[in-house]
Amino acid sequence: MPPPRERQHLRTLGSLIFGSRWLQVPLYLGLIVAQCVYVVLFVKELWHLVSHATTFSEQAIMLIVLALIDVVMISNLLIMVIVGGYETFVSRLDLKGHPDQPEWLSHVNASVLKIKLAMAIIGISSIHLLKTFIEAGNLGMAGAKFTEAGVMWQTIIHCTFILSAMGIAYVDYLGTLATRAHMAVAAEQEELPKSRKT
């Protein structure tokens, strides 16, 4: 057992390391500023849509609406990172009983947050891929945004996101199974002394 003075130094060092989590607060505040930028971008795109609603073609309107959905989904991703990350890695938000508390926040941890983020990224990638497919009719024409190779690579990247999310979910599932097995063994070991006494 270390002497009292060394124990005091270890406690101080531990408190310093644990307190370093507050260094993440400026990062989350920065993400809130980024969220404000996305609100401005959303209003700008929405105004563009409303002011040209009678002159745009159906395809152009669909692309702008998809861009609006894209902004909303990225904004949702930001909220998940800000709220979930702060709750998981910095400090409890103490929202118990609050009528607007997100349902997922009550059981959020690092692995749940990773899966939710992966699903959000897949959703965002799906919107981008859908926009690409809508514009795919212009392939080969002058001024086209995408080439056939570009569409192919975007599809491959989207499939990679899906496989990555499935891998994360599977690893989390294996971790849950291992935790349950460990808890079952611990419960059995607690029961053995009791059964011997009886």
Q: Note whether 44 and 71 are within 8 A (CB).
A: no
Q: Looking at residue 7, what is its pLDDT?
A: 72
What does the pLDDT profile of the chain (198 residues) look like in tens digits? 566 777 777 778 888 888 888 999 999 999 999 999 999 999 999 999 999 888 888 888 888 888 899 889 889 888 888 888 888 888 887 777 777 777 766 666 677 777 778 888 888 888 888 888 777 766 555 555 667 777 788 888 889 988 988 888 888 888 778 778 777 777 777 766 655 555
What is the model's pLDDT at position 131? 81
pLDDT attached to residue 117: 81
Q: Would you call 70 exposed, middle or buried from its count of C-beta atoms within 10 A (0-12, 13-18, 19+)?
A: buried
How long is the chain? 198
Distances (CA, A) of 12 to 7, 8, 15: 9, 6, 5
What per-residue confidence (pLDDT) applies to 3?
A: 67
pTM given for the model:
0.69
Confidence at residue 122, expressed as pLDDT on a 0 to 100 scale: 87
pLDDT of residue 99: 77
Q: How much is the pLDDT for 92?
A: 80
**Rounded to an integer, what distance in angstroms lies between the CA atom of residue 87 and that of residue 92?**
5
Neighbours of 4 (CB within 10 A): 8
pLDDT at 137: 65
Q: Which two tokens stand for residue 163?
A: 């496989």
